[in-house]
Structure 1
Amino acid sequence: MKIGFTLLLLILTSAAIAQISISGRVSDHKGQAVPGVNIYLKGTYDGTTSGADGRFAFTTTEAENQTLTVQAIGFKSQELVLELRGQPITANIVLAESINQLNAVTISAGAMEAGDEKKSVVLKPLDIVTTSGAMGDITGALLTLPGTSTVGNDGRLFVRGGDASETSIFIDGLQVGNAFGSTTSNVPTRNRFSANLFKGSFFSTGGYSAEYGQALSSALALNTVDLPLRNQGDVSIMSLGGGYTQTLVKDNRALTASANYYNLAPYQSLVKQNFDWEKAPSSWDSEISLRRKWGNAVTGKAGFIKAYFHTEGSNMAIWQKIPGNDGRGDRVKLNNRYHYGNVSFRHSGSKGWLFYGGAALSDNRDAIQLNADDIRQVNRIFHSKAVTVKDFSAQFSLKNGLEYYAKTYSEALPGQNLKRQFTDHQFNHFLEATYYFSNRLIMVGGLRSGHSTLAKETWFTPRFSVAYKLDNQGQFSFAAGKFKQLAEEKLRVRQTDLKNSAATHYILNYFTVNNNRTFRAEAFYKNYDNLVTYKGLASDPENLALNGAGYARGVDFFLRDKQTIKDTDFWITYSFVDSKRRFAAYETKVQPSFAPRHNGSVVVKHFVTAMKSLLGTSWSWNSGYAFNDPNLPGEMQRKTKPYSDLSLSISYLPKPNVILHVACSNVLGRQNVFGYQYATQPDESGSYASRPVGQGAKRFLFAGLFITLSKDKKANQLNNL
């Protein structure tokens, strides 16, 4: 018994000696305790979890070198090598936050994105199609967003005090030349491309990425659909024409082809027009899209290649009255031919590498007959691009890209054997770094450089943005940067050595998304330098120079709510823009005609299940357009009455694959005036005669029947409706 007791005592003593105490505290980089952390010796059952104060303690009988593993949700895992030599060990551990791209803060200053993968969704293609005042036009829908101005006699995109030429448009990262249809003076145009072609968009109101350039105000990047859901045919029968689209999908390949024809003559014969049409606008277009996807589940390498080609033609003839002249005025006949094509690719490689790029060609040809004079204008843009993105870690990535542009423009008077033209080669490089300090704090810095062989100028434009996420769903962002843009082609062809105009942006943004509600508030300041000035008329400018300057400043607000009212989606927008600039033929800084001080819109969509219908209404307004009256001293002294347009629409689904869509703009018949045109010479009394620049008609009514043919009888052209 005495021997047995002695052996038991020795065994217990040995066990007590072999047990080693491991303790400490777990905190984050701010020193705050992190509770619930799993702490254990790798390959053993020895371990514990940290308490509310972050402290932990456990014992082990292991010896020699062991690996202590520390794991917590939202933080990077850590492994520490411990030397177990019989003495207690204290380990104070500081955890680094892990970066989760789904929950991390994103840059929202100046940026409004639309796509299923983005948290900051603003407008999807479905929103564009069903916004009553947009009439299916991408630009028309974007004009209901903050920072934009409705210029009804133009139809293009005007952003924060900038004219339409200050916005560049890209498809799958490649620039589109002449993205809007050719038209005559004071007759509004539309974007050439169908909203259903795109899966999402990035619309910047300023402070955009170093990847995009040659735009003083804004970049609109449109991304085409990857792989369609199914084989289907789409028939469109409209009050203005019709079309057919066929989509074929097999494995990882898809082909979509479409053709459309539009003619406004039948419609204009029924609805009184304020314009004096000799031949109503008519047009045709066709396009084809090819897509191929590849991927390897084992290596993780995957890619996509897309090819898209679009061609169209249009013509019109109109008489445009001259102020002070009793006749019909100038006769303008326009024939346009347009071609655009691009090939783009994207490939995800191993070890955090991403490659993308492609090439695009735009070719626009206008044959204009102004009274007895024939005018020919040709504008061609070739753009190629190659980009690499490397994720060096979950926190840091670097984007590096090269671009080449070849831009050619010519205008001719064949009857007089006169022609002038230019060709410019531009080379660009951009570098952009993104760093996540944490899930709450992100910083992006970029530098874009460029060189024009025609202007003989090299330039550098830095960009910077930072965002911080609050404890709730909200976040603040700040963006700043310099932006350069060469003059419009019609000016450069007269003086080919014109160098860049410049703008500097400063933007402060608050953005939040919570429970299907989105709120965005933004303040901005934009400073202009080296704007183009000239003497004489815009149609025949002289003494071109870069002597202009100006600014645009203001605030805008955006609220979207899909939650408060059942089956209802609505958004409210308000923008204030204070803009003054010396440009064109103005001798002082003036408020531009395209920059009303106050702009707003309300869009409401309500789905009525019993009626199988989506009801929509939109109201857009602004405080009026500044214009110059030569009968008064000074410049841009007067302003039109406020602009207002109330539109209604209904989309009725008698069958799941059939949609009847009817929309009417300006239902109240308001006589909106966008400015006044004045005679070039005074009359006998010394006064300059004038005429208002207004709408083509009081209202515009659209009706369309859209039928989808597929094995899935529930599929339609608004698949998400």
Structure 2
Amino acid sequence: MNIRLLLFFYLFLAQSLAFGQTLISGKVLDEKNQALPGVNVFIKGSFDGASTNAQGEFQFETSEEGIQLLVFSMMGFKSLEQVVTLESSTLEIQPIVLAEEFNELNTVTISAGAMEASDEKKSVILRPLDIVTTPSAMGDIMGAFQTLPGTSTVGNDGRLFVRGGDASEVGIYIDGLRVGNAYGTTAGNVPTRTRFNPNLFKGTFFSTGGYSAEYGQALSSALALNTKDLSRRSQGDLSIMSIGGGYSHTLANENQSLTASANYFNLAPYQQLIKQEIDFDLAPYGWDLELAAQKKTGKNGLLKVMARTESGGMNLWSPLPGTDRRVMVSLINDYSYAQANWRTTLNKGWSIFTGASISKNLDKLGFDSLQIERRNDLAHFKASAIKDFSDRFSAKFGVEHFLHPYSEKLVKQGWVRDFKDQETYLFTEWDYYFTKAFVLRGGLRAGTSSVAEEQWVDPRISLAYQLPKQGQISLAAGRFHQLPMDNFRVLNTNLQNSESKHLLLNYLLSKEGITFRAEAFYKSYDNLVTFEGSLENPVSLKNQGEGFAKGLDFFFRDRQTFKNTDYWVTYSFVDSKRQFNQYQTQVQPSFAPKHNLSVVVKHFIVPLKSQLGASFAFNDGYTYTDPNLDNSEMSSKTKSFQNLSLSWSYLPKPNLIIHLACTNVLGRDNVFGYSFSPKANTEGIFESIPQGQVAPRFLFLGIFLTLSKDKNANQLNNL
């Protein structure tokens, strides 16, 4: 009897289970109606499911009943959930189409004219650490970027010159806000540096042309510096250098951080040891105080505040060509910069940014008995929003306003000339991914100037296509406007914008440890400022100049072929001609050498806890006008520029770094041009003085000590 009961219940349950099973089948395709193998298909909240075969087909049985969610999931595609009703023995699903998932890791990025220096992007050209370890850079941001394609080294200037453009044609931004007077003011033939410490920044975006509609007022390029988010730890950093020293202290927790620093430099002791080619009456000196704070706001917001103040100067004797006379050139510079910005993400795909910055610059200049005060201030207010309509389509909208007063004063005479400009801009930019391999970006930027009484609109477009095997190609084109330099506008406030059109074609190959980049470009110039007289005393200023710049550049970086070795090679060819300033014809500017080569090598020796570095820079020389010759303007050229720099970084302890570097190790006598006397001597010759280097070499020794509870912490951890 018991056996009969057991058999009865077994047969009853088996029949119940059989009738309760549902066979689910179907097929999964991609957006091109191609079968998708390997898609996971399952009932949400259960263990019932299967994977598609080579034909994209699937089938499985489930005992679930009623209304359920059927999930389709595969890496690289957006997951899909479909409501199904399980009430019969079979259920055939209509063909399912999965859409590709778009993100920074699997989509093509626009690389035409664009170079990243960060640890976050797959198309990185330089990393933050490279800025402080490139031997020729001496810790200067611009010194590191001068090893990149499209740039030219002008050894007696120090600023960034890009593809035939003057350094004033590069717009510099910190966290999206424009920086006024980003370089330290200098005198005579002494090269300048950027004012800001590279340790402030987590990454840099450098565009050699065709840049985003978010930026403007730059005929050549945009350089966007992005400051660090929350600091990782509390620590102190002490630096003792051959030219001065400084201390920085950071307090940090999970929600906020604060860094305060102070630095002082004075080249007088150094110049007493190293022979100088320039006769300094007072060696360059300076000090700075800096504060940077970050704080999380809400779930997704971050507030950043930064402030900096500094002062410095120098006095030097400048010889006058054709005479035995020298004049005293003096400089005192006071500078302050402050900014605050806040960004956050909102619901429904919105993210917003607001920020404001102010730059205040005062130069007290002396040339013999002439005393000049020059004030140049800039206030920038900006707000922008990004809307992600989908993972394929996003748009950016923004508005910004500038207040820009400028004045020059002859102190003894009490004469003042000035202007106060207000500029307003609207910009928008739209990205659309047709596929993961093809993206299109279009942008518009509109501006107006109260002083120039001018309005303008700049259209810009970029696209990128991922090649089937490796690498990608990008194309960028656009129009760019820039108001003339302040020292010209104060003489003629009716001057209008100069204009440039860019066209760039780029190829980028980036794989594990190897980066290769090649780019061809063409730029046209219109409405450049021309004048009569000299650069020191221009008259009859007009927007009548024009010109072009064309060429190509190559970049190759290898971090894997040789063990513990990282090197990159850059070559740029630039053919630039422009009628500008006092020139009556189109000439090759002195700041635009045709051939530019840069090689950087860094090798880490593990047993010695040392990194050895070498960098070599070359160009074919700088053009100048020789009044002793009867041929055309700017037809003479200096000998080639060559600079071999070496460095050694020693880490005896994790928190201690000793860095030694020397530029122009071979002592090459580089000349950047000549100053000619305004009148010929009795023999009919215009005498000249070469514009050369401050010293044959520059030697730097620095000791950097980090004080922290974490004994492995050092300054490099911040980069």
**Which residue does 1:114 correspond to in 2?**
117
Q: Aligned partners of 1:336 and 1:88: how far apart in 2?
A: 80
CA deviation string 1:522-566 (max 9, x = no partner):
111111111111111011111111111111111111111111111
User: For 2:271 and 2:91, how far apart are their aligned partners in 1?
Assistant: 92
State how far apart, in whole Å, the 1-side matches of 2:710 and 2:580 are.
Answer: 56
Query: 2:9: which partner in 1?
Result: none
The Cα shift of 1:90 comes to 7.1
Matched, 1:95 2:92: no
**Structure 1 vs Structure 2: percent identity of aligned residues?**
56
Q: Is residue 49 from structure 1 mapped to residue 56 from structure 2 by the alignment?
A: no
Which residue is 2:631 aligned to?
633
Matched, 1:509 2:511: no
Output the CA distance in 2 between the equivalents of 1:719 and 1:440: 35
Is the partner of 2:142 in helix, strand or coil? helix
AA paired with 1:311? T
The answer on 1:144 being equivalent to 2:147 is: yes
Distance of 1:458 and 1:381 partners within structure 2: 20
Partner residue of 1:266? Answer: 269
Q: What amino acid maps onto 1:189 in structure 2?
A: T
Partner of 1:128: 131
TM-score (norm 1): 0.93
Please point out which of 357, 360, 373 is paired with 1:360.
357
Q: Distance in 1 between matches of 2:83 and 2:292?
A: 57
Whichever residue aligns with residue 51 of structure 2, its letter is T
Deviations 1:74-114 (A, max 9, x none): 22233556799999857334332111332222111111112
Deviates more, 1:66-75 or 1:182-191: 66-75
1:616 to 613, 616, 632: 613
Mean CA deviation greater in 469-478 or 607-616: 469-478
Amino acid at match of 1:699: R
Q: 1:80 and 1:713, CA in 2 relative to 1: closer, same or farther beyond 3 A?
A: closer
Greater displacement, 97-106 / 671-680? 97-106
- Are 2:346 and 1:349 aligned? yes
Equivalent residue for 2:198?
195
The structural deviation recorded for 1:280 is 1.1
Is the partner of 1:351 in helix, strand or coil?
helix
1:231-250 matches, within 5 Å, as 231-250=234-253
Counterpart residue type for residue 531 of structure 1: L
Q: Distance in 1 between matches of 2:82 and 2:653?
A: 64
Q: What is the letter of the counterpart of residue 31 of structure 2?
A: H
Query: 1:61 Cα shift?
Result: 9.8
The correspondence for 1:477, drawn from 474, 479, 496, is 474
Of 550, 553, 572, which residue of structure 1 is paired with 2:569? 572
Is the 8 Å Cα contact of residues 367 and 376 (structure 1) preserved in structure 2? Answer: yes
Partner of 2:73: 71
Equivalent in the alignment of 2:716: 718
For 2:309, the aligned partner's letter is T
Q: Which of residues 322, 343, 368 in structure 2 aligns to 1:371?
A: 368
Of 460, 465, 469, the match for 1:463: 460
Give the alignment partner of residue 32 of structure 2, picking from 16, 30, 33.
30
SS at match of 2:714: coil
Please tell me whether the aligned partners of residues 27 and 93 of structure 1 are also in contact (alpha carbons under 8 angstroms).
yes
Counterpart of 1:628, as a letter, is T
Give yes or no for contact 2:110–2:462 (8 Å, CA) kept in 1: yes
1:396 to 2:393 alignment: yes
CA distance in 2, matches of 1:640, 1:677: 13
Q: 1:223 maps to which residue?
A: 226
How far 1:358 moved relative to its partner? 0.8
TM superposition shift of 1:321:
1.4
Q: More displaced, 117-126 or 480-489?
A: 117-126
Following superposition, the deviation at residue 253 of structure 1 comes to: 1.7
Asked whether the equivalents of residues 22 and 91 of structure 1 are also in contact (C-alpha less than 8 Å), the reply is: no
Separation of aligned partners in 1, 2:545 and 2:444: 25
Count residues in correspondence: 708
After TM superposition, give the deviation of residue 615 of structure 1 in Å: 0.8
**Aligned partners of 1:692 and 1:633: how far apart in 2?**
20
Residues 231 and 718, structure 2, Cα contact 8 Å, conserved in 1: no
The structure-2 alpha-carbon separation of the partners of 1:87 and 1:719, relative to structure 1 and needing over 3 Å to count, comes to closer
Report SS of the residue matched to 1:214.
coil
- TM-aligned CA distance change 1:53 to 1:455, over 3 Å: same
Contact 2:119 2:128 in 1 (8 A): no
Residue aligning to 2:159: 156
Name the CA distance, whole Å, in 2 between partners of 1:364 and 1:117. Answer: 34
Provide the secondary structure at the position in 1 that maps to 2:715.
coil
Candidates 701, 704, 708, aligned match of 1:703: 701
Indicate whether 1:488 and 2:485 are aligned.
yes
Pairing of 1:576-655 with structure 2 (within 5 A): 576-630=573-627, 631-655=629-653
**Which amino acid is 1:551 matched to?**
F
Shift of residue 423 of structure 1? 0.2
**CA–CA separation in structure 2 for the residues paired with 1:704 and 1:76:** 52
Whole-Å separation in 1 of the counterparts to 2:292 and 2:91: 69
Q: Which amino acid aligns with 1:395?
A: R
Does the 8 Å CA contact 1:369/1:375 hold for their aligned counterparts?
Answer: yes
Q: Any idea what the Cα deviations from partners look like across 1:339-387, whole Å, max 9, x if unmatched?
A: 1111111112222221112111101101111101111100000001111
Q: State the one-letter code of the partner of 1:668.
A: L
Mean CA deviation greater in 680-689 or 613-622: 680-689
Secondary structure, counterpart of 1:719 in structure 2: helix
C-alpha distance in 2, partners of 1:333/1:174? 31
* Unpaired runs of at least 5, structure 1: 1-10, 296-300
Matched, 1:333 2:330: yes
Q: Distance in 2 between matches of 1:73 and 1:566?
A: 34
Distance 2:15 2:265 in 1: 97
Q: Map 1:260-299 onto structure 2 (within 5 A).
A: 260-295=263-298
- Distance, in Å, in 1 between the alignment partners of 2:479 and 2:491 is 27
What SS does the aligned partner of 2:435 have?
Answer: coil
Distance in structure 1 (CA, Å) of the matches to 2:342 and 2:21: 61
Q: Which amino acid aligns with 1:169?
A: I
Contact kept, 8 Å, 1:173 with 1:357, in 2: the verdict is no
**Unpaired runs of at least 5, structure 2:** 1-12
Work out the CA distance in 2 between the residues paired with 1:38 and 1:417: 81
2:306 is aligned, of 305, 308, 317, to: 308
Match of 2:517 among 493, 497, 520: 520
- Whether contact under 8 Å (1:274, 1:695) holds in the other structure is yes
